[in-house]
Amino acid sequence: MSEVRDHWQKPPFIANTALRWLVYGGAIAYFLWVGATMPINWVRVSEGIGRAGQIFGGAFPPSFERSGLLIDGFLESLKIALLATAGGVILSIPIAFMAARNIVPLPVYYIGRAIIIIARSFHPVIVAIIFVKSVGFGPFAGVLTLIVYSIGFVAKMLAERIEEIDFGQVEAMRAAGAPYLSTLFYAIFPQIMPRQIGLAIYQLDSNLRASAVVGLVGAGGIGATLANAFGRYDYDFALAITIVIVGVILISEGISGQIRKRIG
Amino acid sequence: MLKITNLVKRYGNGEPVLKDLDLMIEGESVVSIIGSSGAGKSTLLRCINRLVEPTSGSIELNGNELTKLKGRQLRTARRKIGMVFQGFNLVDRLTVMENVQSGRLGYISTWAAVTRSYPKEDIRRAFELMERVGIAHYANKRADELSGGERQRVGVVRALMQNPEILLADEPTASLDPKTSEQIMELLRNLAAELKLPVLINIHNVTEAKIYTDRIVGMRYGRIIFDDKPDALDKEAMDKIYSGNPQADRNQNMLETA
Amino acid sequence: MSTIAEKFGREDWARFTPKQRLQRYAVFAFSALTLGWAISSIDVIWPWVWDAPEQMADLFGRMYPPDARNLKTILSVLLETVNIATFATVLGVLLSLPVAYLAAQNTTPNRATLWLGRLILVTSRSVNTIIWALLFVAIFGPGVVAGILAIMFRSIGFIGKLLGEAIEEIDKRPVEALEATGASRFKVIVYAIVPQVIPTFWAVAILRWDINLRESTVLGLVGAGGIGIVLQGAIDTFNWPEAATVLLAIIALVVIGEFIAAFLRSRIL
């Protein structure tokens, strides 16, 4: 080439020029529109700045005076998390098998998937409200909520694991003339158990986090204590509860991480 | 001219990796450094552009003392020292042109760097050099789409874009197949002649060192024990460079001091 | 000819060594004990528990058939929910960039900034979106501002942590090469670090948007805007057919969100 080339531009991210401007223009227009139409009351927001000072002033120093209430709330959260994990992990096994394409006929597969999608779509707080309305306030509603929450995650992950299993082992068992249940126990369970135990420990940790939240709508545990403190403007107690929640979550995350690393 | 005197590099409190090393490189010669793994070749090269901090001694490039430089002064000095790496060290997700232009980062403004609006003369120079090494048609390709030999060419062009006063090459062919490896060595030799550039190459392959370089420096355990024309590197010299172990060397040290 | 059993001197076999078996029993026993403790001491009224299936059936019975008369309002509030989630994700992403920079060992300027970065991440991550929402509703009053801030504050920790880890795991060789060219710290970051974490950046941002879509549906329950307010209203007035419509709308929203996230992921990555 004889011509002097002294111009270069980075190839654009979207090669088609029209599409590129459409995407960029669309994104900018969207954010302008959202910014303009958001129902924001700026007067109230600006008043809030002063109120923030008041709230933080009221929150310091955090008050651990009612530590009895705090501990009770936590123990309840822990119980909710434990029972919900046990229930959720056990229930998720049949549901996961139902949702594994390589194990069950198509109609069953769709039912299994539908259960998982519904369990995953709803935030635990929504599920909690429904359970609180139908079975009453208290930890039982919390346990039911977190069972649904656990199924959404554990059954989904487990179903994916089941779909990946090595079918050679199943064939080997069948070739040896093993009946259906033996095949299940010898060829499939060993392949999914390590994953299931890892998931259970992970889920216990998540449930402990979530149990702090479902309490806000009346499903028991430390969340209920926190909601009460907020409702009564006891910001110093609320801060104490929040600090303890953060601490417990960090500890639980650390323990869960350690155990999962050990199990591998 | 590169002048290294009494260079010592010690990691922690251990045995020094470089022991009181002296080396002088003049003119536009291509010099290769050979020696077994752990002889300190790579550390020596990295001391020159201060990727490794020398413990003591002096390194002068064209009269400029490099060992005491800090911050902006060090960066200004580094602009004048090109380096080619064994693993190419390209940014895989950037285009070849961006990789090449990253050799100019020490010169251009931050704004130009971020917006990729490179000066016209830099783009012209980049195309010239890429044309010279045969990769100009890849300018808009991502670096990870290229083969090993092509990637090393990008690495060479990046170093040359710095307009360096010396080029350091740390095992530039060790990750390449024999044929590509010869092509890269030949390229380095020819470019050195065309650009009147001294080149310092660490190399494992003694045959390549003999064919493509003007002078061979043999290192053993932090010392230079051979420094001559390639023809002078005979069987005996080779044995000296590649034999022995650190323990034997240390014992000899003690004998000398005693 | 000796039999195999004679050769090896044993014909019994167990899956685990005695020590392993003991450990397994200990773990089982511990799990059983904790569950027993939880069941026996949890504060529930057992007759209610036995009654639960009936109550649930009754509730779903009252939800059917869903009442779609308010669909227009519901859909417009749903759109507002999407806007809250999207806006908050974008703001969260932008703010998480400097935090990730501080919290990554290889980019942070010094130890103090490293700990500052980590402190921000931990605080943001450990406090749930709803609790953040509670706080911001108390400060700014009910409305979308509280919702956006809540989601944004929670997102900073999530994105910042994953991005910080990505920065710590980059290939360091290009960084070395660019330092050798005499490039300044900032230019090295722009040329050698940013391109390497871009894929993680998009993946994490899309993932968080997907999660935020879900989270934004409950903000309204504590007064922080979005579809949750409509749901709460319907439940408080025992308007179960409308609540059912809202729930169906939420499922649709989440499923569509997942499709969009999957589409973006396949296009960008």
CATH of the domain at B100: 3.40.50.300
Q: Which of A117, A121, A242 sits opposite C131 (nearest CB)?
A: A242
Q: Do B123 and A8 touch (CB under 8 A)?
A: yes
Q: Do A44 and C141 touch (CB under 8 A)?
A: yes
Q: What is the mean pLDDT of each run of 10 residues along chain A (264 residues)?
A: 74 86 92 85 82 82 84 90 93 91 88 92 89 87 93 92 82 81 80 84 89 85 85 86 86 84 72
For the segment B52-66, what is each residue's pLDDT rounded down to a tens digit? 999 999 999 998 999
Given this model, what pLDDT does residue C231 score? Answer: 92
Instruction: Taking residues B101-115, report their average pLDDT.
Output: 93
Given this model, what pLDDT does residue C263 score? Answer: 92
Q: Helix, strand, coil proportions of chain A in percent (round to 5)? A: 80, 0, 20
Q: Which residues of A touch C130 (CB under 8 A)?
A: 125, 213, 216
Given this model, what pLDDT does residue B246 score? Answer: 58
Q: Do C141 and A41 touch (CB under 8 A)?
A: yes
Instruction: Taking residues B80-92, report their average pLDDT.
Output: 93
Q: What are phi and psi of B33, to 5 degrees?
A: -110, 125
Given this model, what pLDDT does residue C8 score? Answer: 60
Taking the Cβ of residue A52 and every Cβ of chain C, the question of whether any pair is shorter than 8 Å is answered with yes
- Would you place residue B89 in the very low, low, confident or very high pLDDT band (cuts 50, 70, 90)? very high
For the segment A3-13, what is each residue's pLDDT rounded down to a tens digit? 668 888 888 88
Question: How close A31 gets to chain B, by Cα (Å)?
Answer: 24
Q: Do C138 and A51 touch (CB under 8 A)?
A: yes
Q: What are phi and psi of B188, to 5 degrees?
A: -60, -45
Number of structural domains, chain B?
A: 1
Structure token digits, residue C209 = 């948007």
Cα–Cα nearest to C68, from C253, C266, C248: C248
Length of chain A: 264
> What is the full DSSP assignment across A14-46?
SSSHHHHHHHHHHHHHHHHHHHHHS---HHHHH
Q: Which residues of C touch B102 (CB under 8 A)?
A: 177-178, 181, 183, 191-192
Q: Which residues of C touch B79 (CB under 8 A)?
A: 181-182
- Would you place residue C47 in the very low, low, confident or very high pLDDT band (cuts 50, 70, 90)? confident
Instruction: Taking residues B86-115, report their average pLDDT.
Output: 93
Instruction: Taking residues C193-205, report their average pLDDT.
Output: 93
Q: Is residue B216 part of a domain?
A: yes
Given this model, what pLDDT does residue B256 score? Answer: 56
Q: Is residue B37 part of a domain?
A: yes
A-C interface: how many C-beta pairs under 8 angstroms? 142
Q: Is residue B10 part of a domain?
A: no
Q: Which residues of A touch C37 (CB under 8 A)?
A: 79
Domain that holds residue B148: 28-53+72-257
Taking the Cβ of residue C173 and every Cβ of chain B, the question of whether any pair is shorter than 8 Å is answered with yes
Mutation target among B91, B94, B200 for the C interface, most CBs of C within 10 A = B91
Question: How close B148 gets to chain A, by Cα (Å)?
Answer: 23
Q: Do B51 and C180 touch (CB under 8 A)?
A: yes
- Would you place residue B20 in the very low, low, confident or very high pLDDT band (cuts 50, 70, 90)? confident
Q: Can you list the domains of chain A with their CATH numbers?
A: 69-263 (1.10.3720.10)
Contact B150, B100 (CB under 8 A): no
pTM of the model: 0.85
Higher-confidence residue of B159 and A254: namely B159
Residue labelled with tokens 């369970």: A189
Given this model, what pLDDT does residue A44 score? Answer: 81
Q: Can you list the domains of chain C with their CATH numbers?
A: 1-43 (no CATH), 76-268 (1.10.3720.10)
Taking the Cβ of residue C142 and every Cβ of chain B, the question of whether any pair is shorter than 8 Å is answered with no
- Cα nearest neighbour of B112 on chain C: C187
Q: Is residue B15 part of a domain?
A: no
- The ipTM estimated for the assembled molecules is 0.88
- Would you place residue B201 in the very low, low, confident or very high pLDDT band (cuts 50, 70, 90)? very high
Given this model, what pLDDT does residue B245 score? Answer: 63
**Least confident among A13-17, B16-20, B49-53:** A13-17
For the segment C77-96, what is each residue's pLDDT rounded down to a tens digit? 999 999 999 999 999 999 99
Contact A135, C56 (CB under 8 A): yes
Given this model, what pLDDT does residue B257 score? Answer: 55
- Cα nearest neighbour of A247 on chain C: C126
A-B interface: how many C-beta pairs under 8 angstroms? 25
- Cα nearest neighbour of C256 on chain A: A121
Counting residues of chain C whose pLDDT is more than 70, the rounded percentage is 95
pLDDT at B248 over 80: no
Contact C53, C176 (CB under 8 A): no
Q: Do A10 and B131 touch (CB under 8 A)?
A: no
Given this model, what pLDDT does residue B247 score? Answer: 60
Average per-residue pLDDT for chain B: 89
- Would you place residue C4 in the very low, low, confident or very high pLDDT band (cuts 50, 70, 90)? low
Q: Which residues of A touch B126 (CB under 8 A)?
A: 8
Taking the Cβ of residue B139 and every Cβ of chain A, the question of whether any pair is shorter than 8 Å is answered with yes
Contact C165, C96 (CB under 8 A): no
For the segment C155-191, what is each residue's pLDDT rounded down to a tens digit? 999 999 999 999 999 999 999 999 999 999 999 999 9
d(CA C215, CA C129): 7
Mutation target among B70, B74, B81, B105 for the C interface, most CBs of C within 10 A = B105
Taking the Cβ of residue B130 and every Cβ of chain A, the question of whether any pair is shorter than 8 Å is answered with no
- Would you place residue C11 in the very low, low, confident or very high pLDDT band (cuts 50, 70, 90)? low
- Would you place residue C5 in the very low, low, confident or very high pLDDT band (cuts 50, 70, 90)? low
The A residues from 122 to 141 touching C (CB cutoff 8 Å) are 122-123, 125-126, 129-130, 133-136, 138-140
Given this model, what pLDDT does residue A161 score? Answer: 87
Q: Which of C186, C191, C199 sits opposite B91 (nearest CB)?
A: C191
Q: Which residues of A touch C42 (CB under 8 A)?
A: 76, 79-80, 83, 139-140, 143
Q: Is residue B23 part of a domain?
A: no
Please, what sign has the CA dihedral across residues C236, C240, C244, C246?
A: negative
Q: Which residues of B touch C183 (CB under 8 A)?
A: 75, 102, 105-106
The B residues from 114 to 133 touching C (CB cutoff 8 Å) are 114
Q: Which of C80, C131, C217 sits opposite A126 (nearest CB)?
A: C217
Given this model, what pLDDT does residue C151 score? Answer: 95
Q: Is residue B19 part of a domain?
A: no
Q: Do A135 and C56 touch (CB under 8 A)?
A: yes
Q: Which residues of A touch C49 (CB under 8 A)?
A: 135, 140
Contact A180, A124 (CB under 8 A): no
